[in-house]
Structure 1
Amino acid sequence: MPDDQRAQPTADVAAAEVAAEGLGNGSASPFLPLRQPIFRAVWFASLASYFGGMIQSVGAAWLMTSIATSADIVALVQASTTLPVMMFSLAAGAVSDNYDRRKVMLVAQCFMFAVSIALALTAWLGVMTPWLLLSFTFLIGCGTALNGPAWQSSVGEMVPRPDLPAAITLNSVGFNIARSVGPALGGIVVAAAGVVVAFAVNAVSYIGLIVVLARWRPPVVERLLPRETLGIAMSAGLRYVAMSPNIRSVLVRGAAFGFGAISAQALLPLVARDLVKGGPLTFGLLLGAFGIGAIAGAFLSARLRAAFSTETLVRGSFIAFGLAVAVTGYSTMTGLSMAALVIAGASWVLALSTFNATVQLSAPRWVVGRALALYQMATFGGMAAGSWVWGAASAAYGTEKALVLAAIALVIGAALGLRYALPPLEQLNLDPLSRWQEPKVAVDIEPRSGPIIVTIEYIIREEDVVPFLNVMAERRRIRRRDGARHWALLRDLTDPQLWIERYDSPTWVEYVRQNQRVTQADAAIGDRVRALHQGAEPPRVHRVIERQTDSLPFAPARPTQDMASPMTDPRSA
């Protein structure tokens, strides 16, 4: 990292420390973000929308049990909602990182509003079929996929950084309040008024959030560089996550948890109908018990994180959920099943909120939407696969055995922690270092000119070679994570103390973008590299632009590379 990008103490650093402390020791109240008017308005509007969604889910699941002839089709209702998240979240994350997140959420909410109206009308006309119902729930899932990354990443724009951990917890509390009461209310609505009314209630529930988002006017952030194309933005998100070990571990564990844990929700209509011999009201009560457990888990999460390591908490959630679904599979009593589902709900929110917080605290703002999208893709992909697998297992072996197999899968997911352990839940300072300045060049270039090749020369003593190689391995990860290509470390054959770092960027604008992505947390790596450099001057930096000669057969011979400047500022690589 160049000298002029050294980290400096700022108010944001203190804010990050406060946020990390609040998340780690449970001192931050989950109600603090409600002091912010926009967050409060969105939270209450979202709560109403969550209630509508829960009522619609009960109606769709119960309608499917009435018109479908096999258990696997019933389980596909859950899969049709989660599959779009797996398929489209990365593109949605790229859109949320490159466009106004408020407008993205508005588009998503209006789309789901229109689909919900169509769903209610189709059910009212009496022309619903199993595959038509799955199509409607799939489209609603598409809206959820578009809305999710924008909503989650916009929380940081609604509340101060110290309140961010509390806002994450409060969002979980809001969703699970709806989960605890909404299904029971949905069962009452379906039993008393029918599924058409349940679908209509869901459609109306979108209106409040649409109005709130339409009235919100967040500060406009000046964009200094052109937007990335969708393909480049998606590739950048994939690259960042691939080069971030903490986020990779979350993706693996999230997929494993989603695969096993979705069994409780995917098979719950069959549990209510076949194992405890109930109706739609019983189904709603079972879902309500799951939601009550989730609320309890949300309020206990801070204390549990203070008492246990992140990995211990997640492993415990896997195992507790597995035991809960096993009990649900064997139980024939509504009360016992509800007690088991309370434990399952608490384990659900503890695991998923820990995964979400780890991702948000491991990704800077420029890529947080895509990181969250990839997390959602992994987790919901596991849920979609699990919904199909457990539905097929239920059809083949019975609901009881399917739930026992899901419990075994969750125990295996806990064992994955031996290889993919989650890091301690802490917040790095991922604000841009913001000390890099675009260098002046002597050659006329355009933003799209390139490739740009950068070389940096270091003088390293023989006794420092091993620590130098170790720190350069970390620098290689950071460079590639932020967009550098073809990174290489070279040693001069005539001067063994001379080492050269080399990498390239496809265009000048991508080179500028890469340097603007350097974070405060990355500064320590640059400090370690400079401490090992023994030259009288800082490391020498050259930037060159590649030029081809074969396209100019009649031109005078010229070098294959032109210097952008004979020698550039050594502190601005």
Structure 2
Amino acid sequence: MADAELASEGVAPDAGRNSPFLPLRQPIFRAVWFASLASNFGGLVQMVGASWMMTSIADSPDMVALVQASTTLPVMLFSLAAGAISDNYDRRRIMLTAQGFMLAVSILLALSAWLDVMTPWLLLGFTFLIGCGTALNNPAWQSSVGDMVPRRDVPAAVTLNSVAFNIARSVGPAIGGAIVAAAGAVAAFVINAFSYIALITVLARWQPPRVERVLPRETLLIAMGAGVRYIAMSPNIRSVILRSFAFGFGGIVALALLPLIARDLVKGGPLVFGVMLGAFGAGAVVGAFMSARLRRMLTTESLVRATFAAYATAAAIIGVSTTMWLTMPALAVAGACWVLTLSTFNATVQLSAPRWVVGRALAIYQMAAFGGMAAGSWAWGYATLHLGAEQALLLSAFALLMGAAIGLRYQLPPLEALNLDPLSRWREPKVAVDIEPRSGPVIVTIEWLIREEDVVEFLKAMAERRRIRRRDGARHWTLLRDLTDAELWVERYDSPTWVEYVRQAQRVTQADADIGDRVRALHKGPNPPVVHRMIERETATLPRGLPMQHQHPPEPTGHNG
């Protein structure tokens, strides 16, 4: 919403932008938010039923922890492919497919429990399949936030999504515990199946604007590789990936071991388990509403270090506590830290990736976070089996403190909205040689004339230019200096095909413009600089007597390759 629109409603522009509820003014976001609230409620009721059912059909504590791991492991395994799909296909249809799949699995889970044929491994199989649906849904859903709200409102929208989940977490588990205690796990599974209907209905009615595709879709493997390459060449997102794994590994302990904490440390039943999980969710809601104020008071890195340390303290208290009145406040602190940390990670990724790759960036972030959760669920379950729940919780507290210390080396960037819209300066050149989209490899050279006194500054700028070129898909980037003309430098790179070259050139963003401008300001030659675009051709052995035909490269055009 523009400042004028906010003013017309009697809201100061700064106040409006700082409001955590601003995204709810968008009708589609509001409808999806409420439908997701219902779906989250059902999912948490189902998780209570599955976790408690596992305590009754399996004797090993690591099997209980594997219920959580079986839900998170698919996100680690399949999110990258799901992210590539979400960036190349209609996100609404992807979400509908995922929600329909999870509805079908939930119905089968309820039927199996009702027919009393459930085994520990069958239960893990069902929760694994639900996790697969989540893995397909999440990148499309989270990258769709940018289609539902203005870009500057993305952090608030991400936080509101966390609020929706944690409002459900604050009441759903307690109600789920009561349902399991009164009617058994079957009733919990049935409620979860019904909870998908509202979201499916909203998504079926949503008609987002269609974006015309100028270039053909990337194949799945190429799209996945492009996503990995973009993350590998983006230092800000790399820091988020590392920190999210560390937080997921240590922080999952409270959720993975909570059934055992309720049963063995606090000596309670399914109702106590649900109430304690509700305390975690209530703390998360409070943390979500505090997030905007805390982000104004603290840098992103300081906030995340504080949440790591506070969660570690809460985990240690939970480990030594034998009363729910001490455990519940510690769980509330852990819940607040959970949502503050993960929503900060999520918003940082969304604001650091352009739309063409945001699904894959979020998918890789989630792979790291959920991979940490899956590994942590297994590790803390194993530690509980051999050392006890108390020692496992104390070990997780130490792991979280180590995660905070990682920030000394890999700091998070400020949470700010970069202009990642396409730069739109590049124009596809006319060529004198007949080529097809699959023709290649395409070799590009750009000639720069640099004064001797500007060489150091030029090399610094070209180091960043190299990162941007490679991040967007250029291969074999090199910088050459002419031995006969000390001022002549040649930038060289290639692309596997013509369409990949066009794709790479169109990925340059407004935020990248500064580097190109710096390089051009140092260039003392013709403006734009001389650019050669050439296609590689193999030589052929011709029959004797036939003339050799020459192909000439196209004339230089354009200004930035």
Give secondary structure in 1 for the equivalent of 2:448. Answer: strand
Q: Is the 8 A contact 1:89 1:376 kept in 2?
A: yes
Superposition deviation, residue 166 in structure 1: 1.9
Q: Indicate conservation of the 8 Å contact 2:65/2:381, yes or no.
A: yes
Match of 2:393 in 1: 403
8 Å Cα contact 1:104/1:146 also seen in 2:
yes
The 1-side partners of 2:125 and 2:484 are apart by 68
* Paired position in structure 2 for 1:93: 83
Task: Tell me which residue corresponds to 2:323.
Answer: 333
Matched, 1:230 2:220: yes
- Which moves more between the two structures, 431-440 or 88-97? 431-440
| Residues 371-386 of structure 1 aligned to structure 2 (within 5 Å) | 371-386=361-376
**Matching residue within 344, 354, 361 for 2:351:** 361
TM-score, structure 1 as length reference:
0.94
* Separation in 1, partners of 2:555, 2:506: 23
Identity of aligned residues (%): 74
In structure 2, what is the equivalent of residue 58 of structure 1?
Answer: 48
Q: 532-541 vs 134-143, which deviates more?
A: 532-541
Tell whether 2:107 aligns with 1:117.
yes
Q: Does 1:152 find its partner at 2:142?
A: yes
Aligned equivalent of 1:565: 554
Amino acid aligned to 2:111: L
Mapping for residues 358-507 of structure 1, pairs under 5 Å: 358-507=348-497
User: Is 1:442–1:565's contact at 8 Å kept on the other side of the alignment?
Assistant: yes
Q: CA deviation at 1:215?
A: 1.0
Cα offset, 1:170, TM superposition:
1.0
Residues 26 and 303, structure 1, Cα contact 8 Å, conserved in 2: no
Query: What's the secondary structure of 2:467's corresponding residue?
Result: helix
Alignment deviations for residues 434-460 of structure 1 (CA, whole Å, 9 cap, x no partner): 232111101000000000000000001
With a CA cutoff of 8 Å and minimum separation of 6, indicate the structure with the bigger relative contact order. 1
Structure 2 unmatched runs, 5+ = 6-11
- Within the candidate set 255, 277, 281, 1:287 is matched to 277
Whether 1:525 and 2:526 are equivalent positions in the alignment is no
TM superposition shift of 1:140: 0.2
- For the residue of structure 1 that corresponds to 2:365, the secondary structure is helix
Aligned to 1:5: none
| 1:257 aligned partner, one-letter code | F
Deviations 1:453-498 (A, max 9, x none): 0000000111111110000000000000000000000000010110
User: Does the 8 Å contact 2:78/2:135 carry over to 1?
Assistant: yes
1:272 equivalent to 2:292? Answer no
Q: Deviations over 1:75-121 (max 9, x none)?
A: 00000000000000000000000000000000000000000000000
DSSP 3-state at the match of 1:361: helix
Partner Cα distance (2:265, 2:15) in 1: 41
Q: Contact 1:24/1:425 (CA < 8 Å) preserved in 2?
A: no
> Aligned partners of 1:310, 1:24: CA distance in 2, in Å?
20
Shift of 1:239: 0.3
The answer as to whether partners of 1:23 and 1:302 remain within 8 angstroms in 2 is no
- Counterpart of 1:133 in structure 2 is 123
Distance 2:212 2:142 in 1: 21
- On the 8 A contact 1:24/1:302 being kept in 2, the answer is no
Q: Corresponding residue for 1:323? A: 313
Contact 2:452 2:487 in 1 (8 A): yes
SS of alignment partner, residue 182 of structure 2: helix
Give 3-state SS (helix, strand or coil) of 2:190's partner.
helix
Q: Is the 8 Å Cα contact of residues 154 and 347 (structure 2) preserved in structure 1? A: no
Alpha-carbon distance in 1 for matches of 2:467, 2:15: 31
Which one of 68, 72, 82 corresponds to residue 82 of structure 1?
72
> Displacement of 1:396 after TM fit?
0.2
Q: Alignment partner of 1:428: what SS?
A: coil
Contact map agreement 2:318 2:327 (CA 8 A) in 1: yes
The 8 Å contact of residues 360 and 368 in structure 1, kept in 2 or not, is answered as yes
Q: Is the 8 A contact 1:24 1:306 kept in 2?
A: no
SS at match of 1:329: helix
Residues paired across the two proteins, number: 554
Give runs of ≥4 in structure 1 deviating > 3 Å: 22-27, 550-559
Distance 1:261 1:205 in 2: 27
**2:478, 2:493 within 8 Å by CA — same for their partners in 1?**
yes
Among 534, 539, 556, the residue aligned to 1:549: 539
- Does the CA-based 8 Å contact 1:483-1:505 persist in structure 2? yes
Shift in Å, 1:553: 6.7
**One-letter amino acid of the counterpart of residue 197, structure 1:** A
Task: Give the SS at the match of 1:544.
Answer: strand
Whole-Å separation in 1 of the counterparts to 2:144 and 2:464 = 30
Alpha-carbon separation, structure 1, partners of 2:120 and 2:19? 45
Secondary structure of 1:180 counterpart? helix
Which sections of structure 1, spanning at least 5 residues, go unmatched?
1-10, 16-21
After superposition, the Cα gap between the structure-2 partners of 1:538 and 1:27, relative to the gap in structure 1 and judged at 3 Å, is closer
Q: Is the 8 A contact 1:189 1:197 kept in 2?
A: yes
CA distance in 2, matches of 1:257, 1:160: 29
What are the Cα deviations for residues 151-181 of structure 1, in whole angstroms up to 9, with x where unaligned?
A: 0000111122333222111111111100111
